[in-house]
Amino acid sequence: MSAWSDHLVVLPVVLPLAAGALMLFLDERRHALKGAISVGSTLLLMAAAVELLLRAQAPVAHVYSLGDWAAPFGIVLVADRLSSLMVLLAAVLGLAALAFSLARWHRAGPQFHSLVQFMLAGLSGAFLTGDLFNLFVFFELLLAASYGLALHGSGTYRVRASLHYIVINLTASLLFLVGASLMYGVTGTLNMADMAVRLVEVPAADQALAQIGAAALGVAFLVKAGMWPLGFWLPDTYAAASAPAAALFSILSKVGVYAVLRLWLLLFGGGPGAELLVYGGMATIIFGTAGVLASQDMARLAGYSLLVSTGTLLASIGLGGAAVTGAALYYLVASTLGIAAFFLLTELVQRMRAPGADVLAVTAEAFGLAPDEALPAEEVGVVIPAALAMLGMSFAFCALLIAGLPPLPGFVAKFAILAALLEADPVPASTWAMLTVLVLSGLAAVIAMGRAGVRIFWAPQDPVVPRVRLIEMAPVVALLGLCLALTVAAGPAMRYLQEAAKGLHAPGAYIDEVLSPR
Amino acid sequence: MELIVALGIGALAGSGVWLLLRPRTFQVIVGLSLLSYAVNLFIFVMGWVRGGRAPVVPESAADAALYADPLPQALVLTAIVISFATTALLLVVLLAARGLAGTDHVDGREPDA
């Protein structure tokens, strides 16, 4: 613990926290300066995450003891394959959302940049921490920032959706506390690795208490992940949030999935509760699919697609061994990037039409009315050439990605999940159910996306060319480009993720590394 | 002693849940506060209910039987601060919702009578 590079693990937490705090002192009108600090901090965060990712592959200690207190007593940060990857994903989304917001959204309300930085700090902390109570603190940090971001831009709709969002998440946090304190009461430790060791030695009389504690924790995480029936709040909140905030939120529900994945496999080895994840996940896919088909506007479509992806993840995690989990992680990365891009795109596309046109169009279709020809014209001005073509291309890209059609990673991921599932012999009934649900949800996504695309890009007689600035289009294109890169480099990416999944399914190495004296 | 504490926590949590399910925002926020008191007490008694023991003892007089677990007390402090701050935030949102929607119903509009 002497070289500077040893402290790299703590950088993803400290850096955004410091940058966010610094910006609180700056005058609210200095947008350019704040933007520069924010983007700079996020770029550094991304570089640190890449370095962590590269290091995570080497079999050396990547455990950082805060304040150099020894492991079971002090708090540790652990940068293994999965957490490094999640930090990188958070940084990428943060950068995309920030770049997008620089066009105009960051001026729409106070302290936008600080909130984004605090959220990034909370996300990195939640992914890196090896301590249960510390996980709670980082959860609260990222949630508190997300409350602010959900409210960003204000307005009746946002405030109402945020009110529900805050109440539900506060209640879930209280459940988290109950679960964490029960686990502490039973095992006498808060360090996750130490807890995994001690849970085995818990006397039979206390086993029930441990299970109740784990169940309370599970419910808290699944509320955040948005599993049916705990996820009714999600589409409303995400549709109401401003585009950059919604893009950042697309990783928020993955935090819940991450916590389930990490703690369930570490503490219980993936045994008890698997059916709950499988059937809950499938119910989430079905609910999300119904929502995708019924959605009248694009933002809600994106929100329900997010639910479908969460359901797919939870069900695959519940169903299977390391191979399935590895494929599910690939799906996690691809779907998070794709849905974030879709949230950003939604806002750009909506500029093509008058507010409420979405609802009008679907209603008109349903009642067989002629499309309203007197839509109010918007301000016309081409800032980037061929804006319409770019938007159309990006939309088609997102649709392919979310529906899971080749050649994009959505297809590769679903294919890998199903291939890994079908390797079992004999194939259990739940796998067949999962296969059916997954394929049908893809079909529904194609139908819904196709309908939305036709209505937006082909149906209008003289489409209003929206004002789209380069800085707004670039993040969407970059996110989709990353997805494309993920397809091209599917081999190495999948190998990395399979290693990560193996590490999760055989937590012995993780536990040894955390608890070994340094 | 444990029974009294357990009953107290149960009463707080029960009232909290009932209020949380009420349609007015103020009831919801009071319900959340009661729930967080219940949870804080719950964390606190995870260090077991035993009177007259100090959490910090000198090394010379260390005796496990005369020792209260200091960790839940530290945790409960953190939990109190966090729930206090988030409740304050919720209160602001509540006022904003009341101002924008003109009603204190949680859905932002009165149910059709």
Return mean pLDDT, chain B.
84
Write down the pLDDT at residue A58.
67
The whole-angstrom distance between A217's CA and the closest CA on chain B is 14
The Cα angle at residue A438 between residues A477 and A297, in degrees rounded to 5: 50
Write down the pLDDT at residue A380.
42
Sign of CA dihedral B66, B71, B74, B80: negative
The whole-angstrom distance between A502's CA and the closest CA on chain B is 33
The whole-angstrom distance between B97's CA and the closest CA on chain A is 6
Strand extents, DSSP E, A227-361: none
Return the closest-CA partner of residue A99 out of A484, A483, A477, A486: A477
Backbone torsion region of residue B65, taken as left when φ is above 0, otherwise alpha when ψ lies between -120 and 50, otherwise beta: alpha
Is B75 within 8 Å of chain A by CB? yes
Write down the pLDDT at residue A216.
92
Below-70 pLDDT ranges, chain A = 1-2, 58-61, 270, 353-385, 460-464, 518
Query: Cis link prior to A72 (omega < 30° from 0)?
Result: no
Residues B13 and B6: their CA atoms lie apart, in Å, by: 10
CB contact under 8 A, A184 and B106: no
Measured between CB atoms, which of B75, B100, B108 is closest to A133? B75
Q: Quick check: helix, strand or coil at residue A321?
A: coil
The whole-angstrom distance between B5's CA and the closest CA on chain A is 16
CB contact under 8 A, A159 and B107: no
Residues A125 and A141: their CA atoms lie apart, in Å, by: 9
Residues A102 and A199: their CA atoms lie apart, in Å, by: 49
CB contact under 8 A, A137 and B106: no
CB contact under 8 A, A181 and B42: yes
- CB contact at 8 A, A127 and A48: no
DSSP states along A64-78: EEGGG--TTTS-EEE
Find which of B45, B73, B90 to mutate to test the A interface (most A CBs within 10 Å of its CB): B90
CB contact under 8 A, A133 and B78: yes
Residues A114 and B4: their CA atoms lie apart, in Å, by: 45
Quick one: pLDDT band at residue B110, thresholds 50, 70, 90?
confident
Interface A–B counts its CB contacts (< 8 A) at 85
Write down the pLDDT at residue A370.
45
Partners of residue B83 in chain A, C-beta under 8 Å = 170, 173-174
Write down the pLDDT at residue A138.
94
In this structure, what token pair is assigned to residue B60?
């010379």
Partners of residue A176 in chain B, C-beta under 8 Å = none
Residues A48 and A32: their CA atoms lie apart, in Å, by: 24
Is B110 within 8 Å of chain A by CB? no
Per DSSP, A105 falls in state G
pLDDT digits (tens, 9 = 90+) for B76-88: 899 899 888 888 9
Give the other-Cβ count within 10 Å of A36's Cβ: 13
Q: What are the two backbone dihedrals, phi and then psi, of residue B112, each rounded to the nearest 5 degrees?
A: -65, 120
CA atoms within 13 A on the CB side of A223: 20
Write down the pLDDT at residue A177.
92
CB contact under 8 A, A177 and B79: yes
- Which domains does chain B show, CATH number per domain? 2-51+68-101 (1.10.287)
Write down the pLDDT at residue B52.
67
Write down the pLDDT at residue B51.
66
Is B6 within 8 Å of chain A by CB? no
Q: CA A158 → CA A154, A164, A165, distances in Å?
A: 6, 10, 10
CB contact under 8 A, B96 and A159: yes
Return mean pLDDT, chain A.
84
Quick one: pLDDT band at residue B49, thresholds 50, 70, 90?
low
Give the bridge partners for A33, in sequence order. Answer: none
Sign of CA dihedral A42, A46, A51, A52: positive
Write the single-letter amino acid at A184: Y
Write down the pLDDT at residue A383.
53
CB contact under 8 A, B97 and A154: no
Measured between CB atoms, which of B35, B46, B100 is closest to A159? B100
Cα nearest neighbour of B102 on chain A: A156
CB contact under 8 A, B89 and A147: yes
Measured between CB atoms, which of B75, B83, B101 is closest to A181? B75
CB contact under 8 A, B39 and A171: no
Partners of residue A190 in chain B, C-beta under 8 Å = 71
Find which of B80, B100, B109, B110 to mutate to test the A interface (most A CBs within 10 Å of its CB): B100
Mean pLDDT of B27-51: 86
Is B5 within 8 Å of chain A by CB? no
CB contact under 8 A, A178 and B39: yes
Partners of residue B104 in chain A, C-beta under 8 Å = none
Q: What are the two backbone dihedrals, phi and then psi, of residue A79, each rounded to the nearest 5 degrees?
A: -105, 85
Q: Give yes or no for residue B111 having a pLDDT over 90.
A: no
The whole-angstrom distance between B108's CA and the closest CA on chain A is 6
Partners of residue B34 in chain A, C-beta under 8 Å = none
Residues A133 and A192: their CA atoms lie apart, in Å, by: 10
pTM of this structure: 0.89
